[in-house]
Structure 1
């Protein structure tokens, strides 16, 4: 049987997320998968992320992508959980300041909320949940995994890499923020990298099924 390539939709237009998944597949030796983004498939109405948890939101996006595109679809939902804010911003991370995706305003609000706290009370974790949804309703058509990256919140933004809250997140055991790490360093340690790696057995099986 001739090997064929599986097209895998990552339900995102974020080129950094697409690049991260492609690098992880390459580094782990998973061949036969072509990762495409929302800009590579016919446009479809994106379902609002109305879930109360990262798991619910990731599944909402993955199911919508698989149904609309007919492709196996990976979607993630991620955010920052700050101990002193009772786990918030959580699923509201992208719109913590009110507007969706305003990274600067979100960072400034978090820093203001923690301004009076000493370092030992600035604990936090990045959380990512990745969901894989296959077209149709067969057995094992959905799979959900979770990754967490513990650390604490810095007192000021540093670094030019990454996005979102990366410039204020100090991973446990690191003097550098997430935005000061190289892409390879971040892939190996980050919440999203951990979640995506947890998906690898299912993704590898997808590729093997086409051989």
Structure 2
């Protein structure tokens, strides 16, 4: 599903070019659960942005479902993001004036779905994350863990083939974080491809496979069952 070959990425800092990713090679199979572990400043968020088609590499190849993504136009990248990739962020990115139901429904308004199809998806995914009884609540009426579950339901409603989770437990207490990880593991069991970005080894260890990023260099670890 995902192949990164000899990916390099750098950014301009004044007159200086700062290298962020060095010769990254990564293969993620369909329905795999991979964690990318690394400290702050290691390059893992830049790597996630490239995988999520939010950024493009300076050189190297990114192949997604057989398509060379790095040669796509911005409009084509936007279409790929909309159809194939769902993002879960550390900041829940919910709209405070909308209910949980409306937050989950919002991205579906850009899909060619009937009102009944949207309703079915929203109710199904809110049920899936255990929040159907909170669907009329606004974010300020929900706990941090509940807000993250709404954000996960919003992703699931769009039915992406890949879920990118960037520090999804970072703003949560240990109990709420454990609940989110259980949801992600259940999604993996249901056949979703999940890539988890984290600096927390205990979180990373819960994935099927773990890779490390340090100073822009990626190292594979042995596959776990």
TM-score where L is the length of structure 1: 0.28
RCO higher in structure (CA 8 A, sep ≥6): 2
TM-score where L is the length of structure 2: 0.27
